[in-house]
């Protein structure tokens, strides 16, 4: 490894010979703030939980050293320019993302060509690359996900699959590892991804101790489904919203397709087309998703029995509840309750 230099940035000296291992977070205008700040919070706790006092050193790299305004309006100061970072031997490159709302108020991931070029350049100097949330779109644009399975925030998964057909998009897991390339799911999953990186470097025990310091309910395994079921409609039309609210008001009882069709004043066949186009799934799948989400809240907030939760959430039986949880979240209700209360 070539010797590091010392840079003068924003009135303080950044001693780069202490950056072992060096984690570089890509910074650009409009980036999601939590994508940038969440992982360093995880990494900063490693020295508390391991005898290796060095832990990590995290730096932010951008086009220039000028302040960068995030999507939250908070300004962040870079430590290095991209060109300075490219001269270093990087252990981990973290790539966050940015989004905008299109004319129909749908979430769209953004990819700045210049940032994509720098991601490609920096990745060549990096042992391990990881995207946070919609940062997967930048990795895909840089060609780093070709032929790989990857995840991203569920709201942009269809966009990722459509724009990069060579990527096998799976929006279900919290994170996915494909060799030296990691992709993380939406928003708070950046913490799970960061904990997984810590576990790889320092072991599961250290990662779990860090999770406890963060007062996280659990350290979710990568293959586990994103717990929060996306209930918002793909298309925010009044018709889709009305159907969504009609379902949610009746989750505790029987919801038949005939009832839904009558409410919408359409045939059952037309109802299925409406759900597919405006809510992204069949009526039955949507109802089950909504019931699982309701049951998930009961498991987190109450000590109610599974029989009681199954009854109040419209499942009818505990067996039906368990099967729905396995399909939707990949675990049983009992396992979910134990994990959510661990730590």
Would you name the residues annotated as active-site residues? 133
The DSSP string of 13-29 is EEEGGG-SSEEEEE--T
Cα three-residue angle 282-323-304, rounded to 5 degrees: 110
* Residues 185, 162 contacting (CB under 8 angstroms): no
DSSP states along 320-335: HHHHHHHHHHSS-HHH
Which structure tokens are listed for 255? 């919801």
Q: CA-CA distance, 140 to 160, in Å (whole number)?
A: 8
Beta strands of 41-194 (E only): which ranges?
57-62, 68-69, 75-76, 80-81, 90-95, 99-101, 107-109, 126-131, 149-150, 168-169, 175-178, 181-184
Q: Roughly what angle, to the nearest 10 degrees, separates helices 318-329 and 283-301?
A: 100
Residue with tokens 């018709």: 239
| Bond before 21 cis per omega within 30 degrees | yes
Tokens representing residue 234 in the block: 């793909």
Contact 174, 224 (CB under 8 A): yes
Helices (H), strands (E): how many in the chain? 14, 15
Nearest to 47 by CA among 152, 201, 157, 174: 201
For helices 238-249 and 283-301, angle between their N-to-C axes, nearest 10 degrees: 50
């Amino acid at each position: 490894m070539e010797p590091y230099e010392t840079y003068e940035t924003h009135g303080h000296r950044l001693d780069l010979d202490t950056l072992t291992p060096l984690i570089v977070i890509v910074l650009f205008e409009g980036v999601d703030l939590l994508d940038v700040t969440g992982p360093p919070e995880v990494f900063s706790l490693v020295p508390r939980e391991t005898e290796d006092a060095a832990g990590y050193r995290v730096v932010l790299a951008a086009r220039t050293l000028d302040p960068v305004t995030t999507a939250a309006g908070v300004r962040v100061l870079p430590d290095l320019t991209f060109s300075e970072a490219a001269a270093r031997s990087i252990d981990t490159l973290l790539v966050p993302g940015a989004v905008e709302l299109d004319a129909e108020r749908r979430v769209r991931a953004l990819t700045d060509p210049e940032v994509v070029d720098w991601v490609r350049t920096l990745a060549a100097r990096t042992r391990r690359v990881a995207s946070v949330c919609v940062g997967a779109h930048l990795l895909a644009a840089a060609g780093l996900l070709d032929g790989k399975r990857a995840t991203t925030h569920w709201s942009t998964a269809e966009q990722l699959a459509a724009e990069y057909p060579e990527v096998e998009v799976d929006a279900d897991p919290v994170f996915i590892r494909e060799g030296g390339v990691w992709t993380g799911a939406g928003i708070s999953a950046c913490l799970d991804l960061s904990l997984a990186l810590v576990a790889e470097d320092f072991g599961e025990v250290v990662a779990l101790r860090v999770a406890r310091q963060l007062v996280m309910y659990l350290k979710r395994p990568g293959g586990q489904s994103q717990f929060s079921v996306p209930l918002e409609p793909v298309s925010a039309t009044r018709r889709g919203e009305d159907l969504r609210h009609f379902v949610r008001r009746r989750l505790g009882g029987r919801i038949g397709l005939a009832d839904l069709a009558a409410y919408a004043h359409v045939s059952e066949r037309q109802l299925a087309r409406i759900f597919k186009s405006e809510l992204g799934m069949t009526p039955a799948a949507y109802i089950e998703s909504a019931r699982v989400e309701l049951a998930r809240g009961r498991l987190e907030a109450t000590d109610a029995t599974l029989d009681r939760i199954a009854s109040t959430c419209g499942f009818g039986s505990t067996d039906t509840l368990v099967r729905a949880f396995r399909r939707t979240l990949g675990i049983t209700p009992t396992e979910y309750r134990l994990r959510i209360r661990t730590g």
